[in-house]
């Protein structure tokens, strides 16, 4: 991207024009193909393409100035924020300033590699899993498929649910054909979002069945919790845990567009807000089930905190972890841990947490006003090798 300072402004038309100019100056980053992908993913959020394009260019300005992703620009309602308010948000890019302070880069693989994480923290995963990386894994795949008729397939080191899907095996299924299909899927993995090299391996997991307490909100999709642990001076802090509820039908409507978040009190496990969505706003009742959200008490909350405290203490070089967890009939289990988890709970707070988080961890990062995030801060070097 071209080297330049960017003007600080709160004028909406000027922001759109500046964003359009940034996109025009940097076609390799803001290509028509990239913008079309955004339209395909978020079209339901906008009444038409004119509104969409205005928001895209505003989002490009905010990405350049504040480090936001496109979903964050929408969810955090940046169109209505002042410059000072925007600076308080920890965003997609700015989080790396804190992650590289809190987490040892050479140890990121312990969680970034999903199979390595599963192996290291297996007692907390409470389910079967196997690594699929080549032809030699066929016998193990046959045994796994004989035991589990429903399998969750994930790329071993991608994020944002890229390449994740469910595989159901029925009587008469040609296992070798399915196995070859999965190998081809691994070979062809690509990502527009993730900067680290793709390992071209898959992790196959036993499907998780949430408890009735969790599944009552939406029986067709698995809702989960994001519980962030921050280790400071030997103590594990739980920083704004959230209930991430899915609101789609599990088939045609899936992903972050069809989700909402609610804050959970870290001490008691009680949900303290309604369901929040950056587009639809706050709702008191889940749109699929009609179950009331605020006031819901998470089951076995203290057992969850103990489990995550124990897990976090086994990773002393990773002091910030965003854990995805779910409650099942086996108790709480870890879905995965994220070494660079987003601060999306700011949506529920309706304000940024920069000052509060910096006070907790004893570290400040201040970018000179008007300079570009992509020039000042990049992802950790090991992620780019």
Domain assignments of the chain as residue spans, ordered by start: 12-91, 100-107+210-361, 128-206
pLDDT of residue 140: 97
Q: Give the residues across from 224 on adjacent strands.
A: 244
User: What number of H helices and E strands is found in the chain?
Assistant: 17, 12
pLDDT of residue 382: 41
d(Cα 258, Cα 150) in Å, to the nearest integer?
Answer: 23
Q: Give the residues across from 285 on adjacent strands.
A: 292
pTM value is 0.88
pLDDT of residue 365: 87
pLDDT by 10s per residue, the chain, length 385: 444 568 889 999 999 999 999 999 888 888 888 888 888 877 777 888 888 889 899 999 999 889 898 889 988 999 999 999 999 999 998 898 899 999 999 999 999 999 999 999 999 999 999 999 999 999 999 999 999 999 999 999 988 778 889 999 888 889 999 999 999 999 998 876 666 788 899 999 999 999 999 999 999 889 999 999 999 999 999 999 999 998 876 555 545 557 899 999 999 999 999 999 877 778 999 999 999 999 999 999 999 999 999 999 999 999 999 999 999 999 999 999 999 899 999 999 999 999 999 999 999 988 765 555 555 544 444 443 3
- Among 3.30.1490.20, 3.30.420.40, 3.90.1150.10, 3.20.20.10, name the CATH number for the domain at 128-206: 3.30.1490.20
pLDDT of residue 196: 73
- Counting Cα atoms < 13 Å in the Cβ hemisphere of 183 gives 13
What are the tokens at 245? 């509820």
Helix-strand-coil percent breakdown of the chain, rounded to 5?
A: 40, 20, 40
SS3 13: helix
d(Cα 351, Cα 42) in Å, to the nearest integer?
Answer: 23
Question: Is the CB of residue 48 less than 8 Å from the CB of residue 82?
Answer: no
100-107+210-361 against 128-206: fold identical: no
- Among 3.50.50.60, 3.30.470.20, 3.40.50.2300, 3.60.15.10, name the CATH number for the domain at 100-107+210-361: 3.30.470.20
Report which of 105, 208, 111 is spatially closest to residue 152, judged by C-alpha positions.
208
pLDDT of residue 40: 81
């Amino acid at each position: 991207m071209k080297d330049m300072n960017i003007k600080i402004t709160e004028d909406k038309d000027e922001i759109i024009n500046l964003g359009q100019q940034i996109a025009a100056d940097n076609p390799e980053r803001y290509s028509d193909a990239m913008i079309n992908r955004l339209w395909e993913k978020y079209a339901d959020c906008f009444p038409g393409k004119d509104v969409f394009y205005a928001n895209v260019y505003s989002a490009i300005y905010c990405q350049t100035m504040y480090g936001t992703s496109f979903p964050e620009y929408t969810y955090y309602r940046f169109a209505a924020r002042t410059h000072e308010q925007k600076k308080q948000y920890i965003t997609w890019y700015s989080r790396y300033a804190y992650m590289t302070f809190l987490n040892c880069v050479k140890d990121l693989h312990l969680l970034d590699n999903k199979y390595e994480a599963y192996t290291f923290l297996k007692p907390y995963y409470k389910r079967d899993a196997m690594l699929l990386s080549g032809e030699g894994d066929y016998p193990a795949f046959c045994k796994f498929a004989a035991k589990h008729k429903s399998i969750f397939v994930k790329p071993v080191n991608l994020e944002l649910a890229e390449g994740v899907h469910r595989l159901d095996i029925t009587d008469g299924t040609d296992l070798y054909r399915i196995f070859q299909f999965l190998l081809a899927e691994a070979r062809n993995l690509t990502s527009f979002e993730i900067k680290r090299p793709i390992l071209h391996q898959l992790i196959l997991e036993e499907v998780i069945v949430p408890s009735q307490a969790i599944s009552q909100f939406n029986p067709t999709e698995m809702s989960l919790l994001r519980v962030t642990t921050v280790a400071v001076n030997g103590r594990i802090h739980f920083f704004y845990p959230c209930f991430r509820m899915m609101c789609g039908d599990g088939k045609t409507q899936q992903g972050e567009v069809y989700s909402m978040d609610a804050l959970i009190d870290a001490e008691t496990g009680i949900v303290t807000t309604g369901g929040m969505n950056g587009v639809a706003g706050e709702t008191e009742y889940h749109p699929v089930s009609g179950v009331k959200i605020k006031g819901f008490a998470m089951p076995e909350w203290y057992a969850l905190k103990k489990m995550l405290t124990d897990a976090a203490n086994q990773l002393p070089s990773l002091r910030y972890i965003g854990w995805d967890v779910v409650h099942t009939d086996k108790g709480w289990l870890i879905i995965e841990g994220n070494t660079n988890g987003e601060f999306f709970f700011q949506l529920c707070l309706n304000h940024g947490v920069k000052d509060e988080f910096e006070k907790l961890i004893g570290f400040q990062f201040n970018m000179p006003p008007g300079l570009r995030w992509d020039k000042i801060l990049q992802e950790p070097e090991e992620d780019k090798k």
